[in-house]
Structure 1
């Protein structure tokens, strides 16, 4: 039976799997200077990016929530994997053959199927379905694709396939390849009716659903046969350990980089709409999988857009022009607060979805649809106003009252007055009357909100025992430790006199203890230094602080050299000596030289020595500048 993964191989995976590439499949990262990259944190919701990645040291840290670590920890946290599973997954992606202390293959947990097995089963299933699309039985499926404007190449590009009608064809195929009944049921690929396993999807057109890294994690299945006993037009994979429909977007693997580049995401309603949009040149299109667009979907999009107050993207929803489409627009408007950038709606004049629009009017019509988008708030206001008879005074008043509530919900407060004037034009009411009603609606909303529970404010860093990185009292300590963590070989030679007493903040002193425990900073470049520090930080708060110190930029425009390190080490020691001098002077003032002349003389001699040492440290720091 396989045992632990060889430690050298773990280190090799950590060094080879580029942290910016791995994190970049979940978060859009942009250069932040000094070799750092920055994006929106995937571990908490934020409007301004505080998530930092330093590829040169293979570390990440969020200055908002404190999450941090290396590439292995990131994947563990994002995908809910164990340590060994994560190492195995990363090793497979970067082409490293792992060695085990006992045996030659990966271990299998007795706790049931795990992600690597479930992903592998889906990968094989996707290839199997794609092959089945070419069989005579799949003629109806191919005809359906043809009527929707998708040829063989389009089907291959999106991995579209066909599930045979036999009932257990895929199950038998996977079991022959060594997958257990429990794995297939947990994966959502098979069901169990007490007479044995059966295929979850039978006689349907199949779309593989991939996560942002390209792993197949589920399927969407469309009904194509009239005698299908399941009448639902679409079936989707049920919730599994790897498939969470509230977080899954079809096409995200293909659109991810385009979304980041264009700072635009187009939300369509179905699999064929995604295909049509991409083939028409709108390669930022994605769709939800059998569920409404929700808060978790918004977080995924925001991280890829890097949608924040300083760098705003745009999100474009395409809805059908019917009542269901208007209802979907209202839901999207309710979630508009999730975005910092502008939200839009694109609705074809005849109410056609992107797939039908492409069929009837060509690729250019799909591109024009996206280009002709209108702000979401305007679309929603228009829908509200249309429901009332504006030829009647009471109709106009009722429309005003409902629309005013929507205006108060608009995220950008500086635009409320402009929107109120626009509403006045829609209704034919004096703008001053509209603005008064908007203010009344806002007041009623605030009164209602004040009766509810307010979200607790984040606790200050100090209350958690963690230092504020901007606190001027500890800047010298922090900068010195950043050098120790990031450039140990540069500062090692000047740390001989530095000790725990030089760090006045308990958290920084704890970091220094970890440095000491790790054997002190190496004098030559050592790729394993960061990992050794992390391994010796058993306290989660210290671990978080270490990751912060490893990614936070050094406070100099150029790469730190020996002189820069010397200045900080000597000034750190000088500050400590100054504290000792102050303490000694205070004690001297409290000592009567007549009553205890020997002690007084000893302390006076110590004071002279400390003053000389302080001057020496000051001169050393000045010489280095």
Structure 2
């Protein structure tokens, strides 16, 4: 069942954004808005603005934006429907649901069935651990040897799967679960080619994997038999409708609040590392579960903190894995340090050996940023070999190039020059070469790089390169006019463009009529314009709330960004200084009219450039040349007329 629109609207109206956010952070009223330190990134000066009037929030530091539902989705790691139910429960709102389509029902029912069978499996494995002779004699001793307390076993829902071939399958079938859903949950697997299925996790201790909100989505399992030569030591659930390994971190449900509170996430490799540290009181820790770190996992961490400390084994394989992960973390804009333990130790064994306080002290003392760590490592490996040293310095600069913040890049470059006794200009030239290569290989996103940016970087590397070598302008000139158009539609689409001259004519009506046949070039703006057309076709003029509370996160975030002002105009301009500043609402007719003209002009200019390119490539075909020239003259006349209307310089 799906929550009906009226109930959704009632939840949004009741769940005041300031009240919802106030449960998580301290908010202070300032003027019409509230301000707080952003809960999504570490900061000491509040840049997180909450607008009760609009029912939205926006952080001017990290860019996070949304409404009360989006806030709960991000803070608790819930889906849209789950967040609505969370708020409905908080405010005592009865959920009214409506029928879904057959496809929606099938998809939801399958997902809910998977979560139910996985929850049942968790309880089954726990029962096997505590209530059977096999579990108490084989699995419990293993956990006790690791030093795990009963409270820890319960906190992480640890369990045991018996040795029998199909014990779980039989138990689940007896409970009424179908073999199809058991297979889809990854709890059984086929035996050879005969089509028979058996339990996937046999004779293994079980580590349930939770999603951010605490629901069981998969399992990890460790074998206990030492003579099992042909079996993997660790086994994980396969990918399912609810489990995507690359987007999952082990322990995130238990760690998220502590990560947010401590403003740092400790990243380890294995399940037992997480559990041992958690038991030692170090709860802001998650694991990549033995897989290579992914962008999705880093973004998941980034929802709770911008600071990551990687805790990896001291062997060469662990160090290399850590370095690969650090580059990815840097690229996502997070701040990362690395701690390597003495050889033969991992976080699990080391914290048990020295205790939690000494462990924390060790991290504080040994944590190194990526450049310091690489410098120490490379000096040791390269020795006096200048060729090896040069290659390693290039690797360091390559890591620095991943950092999106220009100031941080510059500081790390200075640090590298000092540590490696290099001329900073030489390193800067190397960095610029890497940046230029990135730009050349970039996709054809019209907003990604302009010719000016390209030339500036190129000039730093080869100051003498000729102007004729400059690339064609790749910045989409229409972008800014399309941006202005959707800004008007989102903020003022429902208003009359001129109540005196044209009563009843709204901005959305005017712009849709004037833009008939026009195709935007920016995908997001195309979607927003299509939404406006749909609403107008249904005889509705969409108000800002339609966009500010839209379920599409990209549309909602964009709409909040262009609707939010970091600084409001003081009333003293008018009251004290008697200076009156016209508002957009008072200038709607002029703004909309000129926006349409500028859009037409920029599209016309683009067409002119295409014609000029065509003229350059034409051969001696006189008839074709004449036709192209006539089109060129027609476009130049349009350009001249629009320029005159806009009052701009007329092109010759």
TM range (shorter): 0.5 to 0.7
Change (3 A) 1:270 1:156: same
1:388 equivalent in structure 2: 382
Cα separation, partners in 2 of 1:404 and 1:436, compared to 1, 3 Å: farther
Q: Is the 8 A contact 1:5 1:101 kept in 2?
A: yes
Say if 2:294 is the partner of 1:332. Answer: no
8 Å contact 1:206–1:222 — kept in the other structure? Answer: yes
Cα deviation, residue 142, structure 1: 1.5
Summarize the Cα distance change of 1:89–1:252 in structure 2 as closer, same or farther, 3 Å threshold: same
Shift of residue 29 of structure 1? 12
Contact 1:28 1:260 in 2 (8 A): no
Contact 1:59 1:547 (C-alpha < 8 Å) held by counterparts: no
- Compute the displacement of 1:169 (Å): 2.6
Distance change in 2, residues 1:386/1:578 (3 Å): closer
User: What is the CA-CA distance between 1:245 and the residue it aligns to?
Assistant: 1.0
Give the equivalent residue in structure 1 for 2:169: 171
- CA root-mean-square deviation: 5.6
Counterparts in 2 of 1:263 and 1:577: CA distance versus 1, 3 Å? closer
Q: C-alpha deviations, 1:278-320, integer Å up to 9, x for none?
A: 2223221110123111222111112221xxxxxxx32100111
Gaps in structure 1 of 5+ consecutive residues: 43-48, 306-312, 425-429, 485-490, 522-528, 581-625
TM-score, scaled relative to structure 1: 0.66
Equivalent residue number for residue 231 of structure 2:
231
Structure-2 change in CA distance of 1:235 and 1:436 (3 Å) = same
2:125 is aligned with 1:126: no
**Secondary structure at 1:222 match in 2:** strand
Structure of higher RCO (CA pairs closer than 8 Å, 6+ residues apart): 1
Structure 1 segment 530-549 matched on structure 2, within 5 A? 533=546, 548=560
Within the candidate set 327, 333, 346, 1:353 is matched to 346
CA contact (8 A) 1:69 1:547 kept: no
- Partner of 1:616 in structure 2? none
Shift of the alpha carbon at 1:331? 0.6
Aligned to 2:511: 506
512-521 or 405-414, which deviates more: 512-521
**Pair 1:445-2:434 in alignment:** yes
Residues of 2 paired with 1:92 and 1:192: CA distance?
42
Aligned partners of 2:271, 2:145: CA distance in 1, in Å?
15
Map of 2:201 onto structure 1: 201
**Equivalent of 1:467 in 484, 491, 500:** 484
How far apart are residue 555 of structure 1 and its match?
Answer: 7.4
Query: 2:337 corresponds to which residue?
Result: 344
- Find the counterpart in structure 2 of residue 258 from structure 1: 258
SS at match of 1:400: helix
The Cα shift of 1:421 comes to 3.7
- 2:158/2:206 contact within 8 Å kept: yes
Secondary structure at 2:222 match in 1: strand
Equivalent in the alignment of 1:597: none
Partner in structure 2 of residue 315 of structure 1: 308
C-alpha displacement of 1:273: 0.8
Change beyond 3 A, Cα 1:111–1:514: closer
Cα distance in structure 2, aligned partners of 1:54 and 1:579: 26
Separation (CA, whole Å) in 2 of partners of 1:18 and 1:230: 58
Classify 1:18/1:384 alpha carbon distance in 2 versus 1 (closer, same or farther; 3 Å): farther
Residues in 2 aligned to 1:371 and 1:114: alpha-carbon distance in whole angstroms:
47
Contact 2:139 2:205 in 1 (8 A): yes
Once the two structures are superposed, the pairs formed by residues 278-289 of structure 1 within 5 Å of their partners are 278-289=278-289
Within-5 A mapping of 1:10-25: 11=9
Instruction: Please give the residue correspondences for 1:102-141 in structure 2 after superposition, counting only pairs within 5 Å.
Output: 109-110=105-106, 114-135=110-131, 136-138=133-135, 139-141=137-139
Helix, strand or coil at the partner of 1:282: coil
For 1:227 and 1:15, the matched residues in 2 are separated by 62
Cα distance, 1:452–1:97 mapped onto 2, change above 3 Å? same
State the Cα deviation string for residues 429-456 of structure 1 (Å, max 9, x = none): x544xx4653564365356546534562
| 1:588 corresponds to | none
Deviations 1:86-141 (A, max 9, x none): 978987999877566689xx998346953222122222222222222213212222
Alignment partners' CA distance in 2, 1:501 and 1:11:
25
1:406 paired to 2:411 = no
Count matched residues.
521
8 Å Cα contact 1:249/1:297 also seen in 2: yes
Distance 1:503 1:119, change over 3 A: closer
Residue 154 of structure 2 aligns with which residue?
Answer: 156
1:245 maps onto 2:245 in alignment: yes
Kindly state the Cα deviation for residue 462 of structure 1 after the two structures are TM-superposed: 4.5
For residues 548 and 372 of structure 2, the distance between their equivalents in structure 1, rounded to whole angstroms, comes to 54
Instruction: Please show how residues 33-72 of structure 1 align to structure 2 within 5 Å.
Output: 34-35=33-34, 71=69
**Mean alpha-carbon deviation: is it higher for 223-232 or for 57-66?**
57-66
Contact 1:210 1:216 in 2 (8 A): yes
Q: Is the 8 A contact 1:72 1:87 kept in 2?
A: no
* Counterpart-to-counterpart distance in 2, 1:28 and 1:272: 32
Distance 1:93 1:238 in 2: 35
Cα gap change, 1:461 to 1:348, in 2 (>3 Å): farther
Given the alignment, which residue of 415, 427, 436 partners 1:419?
415
1:515 shift after superposition: 9.2
C-alpha distance in 1, partners of 2:10/2:185?
31
